[in-house]
Structure 1
């Protein structure tokens, strides 16, 4: 299969169109899964993932969306596209409508049972959303559902179109046009194709293509197990009213549940085949079919001339919009533990290096000739005896930490305790915050880390707060560099430093805020 664009570069005014179009792009990857995911490798079975997720729209519905809009949009007449879709089809349509047809009004009709994550994803891509009650997967001919509502809207206004993925043969014909030829060109020795069945378009198209192009290819469709639900595919019962010729396009149907779909998708992702639950669903259906053929002793009948069985399943979607579902469907044992998880509920505010001042810079900002600047407040978190021995003039002592208290950034439980105490002390309304209102605040502690946390808390509450990097220890080192200088004198760097005798703390200085 000749590569139409070997360097995969797109330039010029139609660059994005060519990027999206399968006829001007390299074929989507076909990747053999690692042996650790193939329980039948020793039986001569080789399994390949067709990465439909690698299309720019990131899902299997991009091909149908491209074909449907190419055949239904009328230039100069069509202004609005309306489609009932659980997500992937209409998201692909919104992208392709803009890229190929300069249409921005794409409206999604979908079930009110759609997850918040998927709704936000659709909003992210600019879709106008209308929700409908009733079954999450309505039958195409149900007059009460959103599928028929979208169809009626288009009939009432010539400027609106409803491509209708459920009843438009251009859906499944896209896979005859592009997906099937790509797979056969990449893997001429293919013996088996497997795909899930939702609208049934994917399997109908692939099955129809291989029936003509290579009739020896065995075709396996996968449906959702009765009473269960996997995003995208349908149960076998719900396929009954689908008008596509899917029955002639499959040789066998497997039914798969949601737990296996999510679990196998998770395993694929962790081995580098990043895909969503419907991809794990397809692979599980393939496993089940191969297992049955092996048990009945007929597996070898599927082998080609090389004695091996080359199977392709479709990777249809990505996992990211279903992350919460993975945690709901699977057990805690399937996921690594989060260490220090208790920190997720504390220390919630931002930090900024600009708020952590070097000692000399802090003194310059908060003192003029040894006296605190007007409208400033200096809060020292050390213990009273340490505060008495050495403190900045005008400081207020709030004894939150001890000299041997670990840094809150080294010991998570110290951070949790400190943050909660700061939140409680400086919660609004309070006399403490009234005292600080309109003042620039400088926090001081032993090593600067606790003061840094306090700065984050007070900044989040709208106060102008800073801390001294390195804390009192850094201030002491600054004084040691100029032992002969008294407070208010200038160092060689032109910065006021502390030295000599310090004032005894007043009653105000030692009170707890």
Structure 2
């Protein structure tokens, strides 16, 4: 295992190839769990997370993908095809592009795969084909996707199926890279723990440590019968696997999903960001250590320094499993969302350009008054294709309004109603009411292709209304500060404005700001 890049910099025309190549990288981090995450700390146990998530592909399957494609891709290869639940084939797609220039990677996988995982694969450009039947088919089952991928590759010279389930280069990648990294970082290692899916990771690591340090206890972790954790398999499903995994493990633990997700969540919150299979591995390690402690043999694992150094693998990231965390663990494990009611309302975008200063409304929507003297509001009229909507109560509208404006009073709005942006209940009520009002067919027809100016008491409700109108395809704006702002300028009254600082004629003379 070469390592000549201590500065961790990749440059030149093959920079991405170096970035993906483990021989050009510093070792992936090995991080000791702090005392509060290690219940066996005071029993002389030290536990370390091997962060396989820190590879550029963000998962442990990057190593097998590198190793398998290195020997199988040829100049004539145009397509990579693999049956995979996610990490392996995603890694293959990146490795194929970066290392071999192959753009077409296709994933065969179960129709029971979560929508989040399917979208993740699409995000990375994978061509997806779904198969029915078991989500983890036996490798030799001719009805499953594994053998379908194998047959498809056999029928074409330009298609490669690495077949992680039968390809020895899968597990040998961990003999080549992962094992040597761990041993170089922690020669004191006493226990190694990894999950069993294809069994490639555990087979490779177990084989490597049997040769370099036979005293290391090799722990494989399987899913508990009838349970499921993404990646690993049950012990029963390992029976047909051809890899020499039985010679690579000393003991096996079976772990359920609830503890796997719980420990993963705890690790993530403490700064070790990893998926459920990582919590799964850690729980398997905990179970073995607990059994040893109960049997009085825990100390037998210790090395010459009197400590027991344990390494477990963090295999992938949690993000594609977020929904499953909530399903498995329930709401008590997560902080509440305050004002959660707002997730169902106020769903449209806002734009500062849609809020107009009170003085802008006249050049925007009204023509010049008939007299250039200080004028009455009654002397101005709307420009063509302009509408003004006033959301205030009818009594306030009658006392004080803009010429030719339409009153659409909201039952959820009054002169002393709190701002919708300070009271979620007000925002919810107003948004629901505005959505209903602006869905009325007669009103929609009346507004047509007109530009709409919306006013209210203080501008905030009109701002919400503008967001709703814009979402429905109307060109709309609101008055910042509402009638309160206009009243401050002496605008909005039918009384003469000789005493105001901003007469109508001057307001209309202000240069109009473009609508968008």
Corresponding position: 1:464 with 2:471 = no
User: 1:393 maps to what in 2?
Assistant: 403
User: 1:264 maps to what in 2?
Assistant: 263
Report how far residue 3 of structure 1 moved: 4.9
Q: Is the 8 A contact 1:259 1:329 kept in 2?
A: yes
Q: Is the 8 A contact 1:83 1:150 kept in 2?
A: yes
User: 2:372 maps to what in 1?
Assistant: none
2:177 aligned counterpart, secondary structure? helix
Corresponding position: 1:421 with 2:433 = yes
Distance in 2 between residues matched to 1:35 and 1:415, nearest whole Å = 47
Q: Structure 1: where are the runs of 5+ without partners?
A: 497-513
Superposition map of 1:65-104 within 5 A: 65-75=65-75, 77-104=76-103
User: 2:59 maps to what in 1?
Assistant: 59
- When structure 1 is superposed on structure 2, of 106-115 and 291-300 the one drifting more is 106-115
User: 1:297 maps to what in 2?
Assistant: 296
User: 2:32 maps to what in 1?
Assistant: 32
User: 2:446 maps to what in 1?
Assistant: 435
Distance in 2 between residues matched to 1:191 and 1:390, nearest whole Å = 83
Distance in 2 between residues matched to 1:376 and 1:492, nearest whole Å = 15
Report how far residue 116 of structure 1 moved: 1.0
Corresponding position: 1:475 with 2:491 = no
User: 2:7 maps to what in 1?
Assistant: 7
Following superposition, which runs of at least 4 residues in structure 1 exceed 4 angstroms of deviation? none
Q: Deviation digits for residues 422-476 of structure 1, max 9, x if unmatched?
A: 1111115x11111111211000011100000000101111101100111111112
1:70–1:495: structure 2 CA closer, same or farther, 3 Å change rule? Answer: closer
Corresponding position: 1:489 with 2:500 = no
User: 2:377 maps to what in 1?
Assistant: none
What value does the CA root-mean-square deviation take over the aligned residues? Answer: 1.7
Report how far residue 492 of structure 1 moved: 11
Superposition map of 1:16-165 within 5 A: 16-75=16-75, 77-165=76-164
How many residue pairs end up in the alignment? 494
1:456–1:305: structure 2 CA closer, same or farther, 3 Å change rule? Answer: same
Distance in 1 between residues matched to 2:357 and 2:506, nearest whole Å = 16
Corresponding position: 1:328 with 2:339 = no
1:490 aligned counterpart, secondary structure? helix
User: 2:381 maps to what in 1?
Assistant: 371
Report how far residue 363 of structure 1 moved: 2.3
Q: Is the 8 A contact 1:482 1:491 kept in 2?
A: no
Report how far residue 493 of structure 1 moved: 8.5
Distance in 2 between residues matched to 1:304 and 1:111, nearest whole Å = 44
Corresponding position: 1:412 with 2:428 = no
- When structure 1 is superposed on structure 2, of 391-400 and 122-131 the one drifting more is 391-400
Distance in 2 between residues matched to 1:492 and 1:420, nearest whole Å = 35
User: 2:390 maps to what in 1?
Assistant: 380
Q: Is the 8 A contact 1:50 1:315 kept in 2?
A: yes
2:320 aligned counterpart, secondary structure? helix
Report how far residue 415 of structure 1 moved: 0.5
User: 2:348 maps to what in 1?
Assistant: 349
2:401 aligned counterpart, secondary structure? coil
Q: Is the 8 A contact 1:360 1:495 kept in 2?
A: no
Distance in 1 between residues matched to 2:97 and 2:479, nearest whole Å = 53
Distance in 1 between residues matched to 2:405 and 2:108, nearest whole Å = 63
User: 2:318 maps to what in 1?
Assistant: 319
- When structure 1 is superposed on structure 2, of 340-349 and 359-368 the one drifting more is 359-368
User: 1:340 maps to what in 2?
Assistant: 339
2:23 aligned counterpart, secondary structure? coil
TM-score, length basis structure 2? 0.93
1:177–1:483: structure 2 CA closer, same or farther, 3 Å change rule? Answer: farther
Report how far residue 374 of structure 1 moved: 1.5
Q: Is the 8 A contact 2:362 2:507 kept in 1?
A: no
